[in-house]
Amino acid sequence: MKWTTLEEEQCSVARTVAVIGDRWSLLILRDCFLRVRRFDDFQARLGITRHLLSDRLKKFVRYGVLRRVPYQDSPKRYEYILTQRGLELYPVIMAIVHWGDIHMADERGRPLLHEHKLCGKLFDPVMVCSECNEPLSAKDVHVRPGPGSTAERQVLPQSQLRQAG
């Protein structure tokens, strides 16, 4: 695999990494979910160079994760708003937040708490089966080739393919 052609791989992880797979992209997404929208605000919060920030924002717009919306005419300035595609990255970001809260928090504890607006309770994100709503862990899942798989590159080692079939 080459870093520059990840988006062409027959692997959903590789294709996603092509869009969000670097530290600046993940931190920009974090800030988007914290409702940061303007270039100068991203730059001030992140300490990222203008060139890198511009590059990452253009990439997110190109992939349909953000849309660029003018908020000022003279001079022309834009906000970056999460699209539906971008909003669907929320579980990914929350999974990273949760892992960090468990494994990387210091003695002071979690830096941010997440409250569900509907019930008013603090929560931890959990992954559940879309069919039965039971919690999922890696041990609870079997993987098998899907319709997007090709014969040239099998998703699983042959020993696991026999077990999945």
Please report which residue ranges of 47-146 form alpha helices under DSSP H: 50-62, 84-87, 90-103
pLDDT tens-digit series, residues 61-93: 999 999 999 999 999 999 999 999 999 999 999
Residue 6 pLDDT: 66
* Average pLDDT rounded to a whole number, residues 153-157: 56
Domains and CATH numbers, the chain: 3-88 (1.10.10.10), 126-165 (no CATH)
Torsion of CA 87, 92, 96, 99, to 10 degrees: 130
Is 1 within 8 Å of 14 (Cβ atoms)?
yes
Using 50, 70 and 90 to split pLDDT, how confident is the model at 119?
very high
pLDDT at 158 exceeding the cut of 90: no
Please give the span between the terminal C-alpha atoms of the chain, in angstroms, as a whole number. 27
- H/E run at residue 132: none
Closest Cα to residue 48, out of 26, 20, 76, 80?
Answer: 26
